[in-house]
A and B are shown apart, each in its own frame.
Chain A
């Protein structure tokens, strides 16, 4: 059950991150004060990919709630980052972000750390 929940968390998180980033990049940069966050909430209501992103996030969150109830926090949080390297690759392929050597190497080192943490 732990691994099933973890798989759902990873898949839903990856989908949510990509949809969020894609939609947010199409807008003007958002202010992060009270008004900025209020405008952000209005924007979410108008942007379909953001709504879909939040739906994926909800699936991820409820699965994570069930996961963290039985698994240790020091396992559940790092293990849920199994989607990390997949998301970085998709950021390059789908979002056309530039992932240089240093950033790719850093991502791989972080991933190695996450693997050790999860053992």
Chain B
């Protein structure tokens, strides 16, 4: 149960990180500025990298909804913060962004915080409150 939950969380974090990367890459190379005009969004969404990013993010969202069915939101939220580390790494090494020492310290803090949270129980809400009844 715990192993499965952590595996799903890992898959979710990777899908979201690479989905965001694809989306960022696609939008940065899109010639028009995204603003309030829905047509510009539609044109951007059919460009290959943006489409790929959106597909990965939708799959990540469905995975996360399933995870939220078996684990608390306050457990899932901090653990998925590991995704910010991936964002910094992908930004630095693939998009060649300037990641300052402060940002790397922030990355280390996120690892520490995620480790603290990962050692707490995953599901603390009583079953009756969830409408699942007493039998399990």
Contacts of A55 in B (CB 8 A): none
Contacting pair A73 B130 (CB below 8 A): no
Question: Interface 1/0s, chain B 97-113, versus A by CB < 8 A?
Answer: 11110110111111111
Residues of A80-119 whose CB lies within 8 A of B: 81, 84, 87-88, 91-92, 95-100, 102-103, 105-119
Sort chain A's interface into a size bin.
Answer: 35 or more
Within the complex, the shortest CB–CB distance from A91 to chain B, in Å, comes to: 4
Instruction: Count residues of chain B with CB under 8 A from any CB of chain A.
Output: 68
| Alpha-carbon distance between A112 and B64 when the two chains are bound, in angstroms | 24
Interface, chain A (partner B; CB < 8 A): 17-18, 20-21, 24-32, 36-37, 40-41, 50, 57, 61-62, 64-66, 68-69, 72-78, 81, 84, 87-88, 91-92, 95-100, 102-103, 105-119
Interface, chain B (partner A; CB < 8 A): 8, 20-21, 23-24, 27-28, 30, 33-35, 41, 44, 50, 57, 61-70, 72-75, 77-78, 81, 83-84, 87-88, 90-92, 95, 97-100, 102-103, 105-120, 124-125, 129-132
A sample of 12 more A-B contacts (CB under 8 A), given A27-B69, A28-B132, is: A25-B69, A26-B131, A32-B63, A32-B66, A32-B67, A65-B50, A68-B27, A74-B92, A74-B95, A106-B120, A110-B113, A110-B114
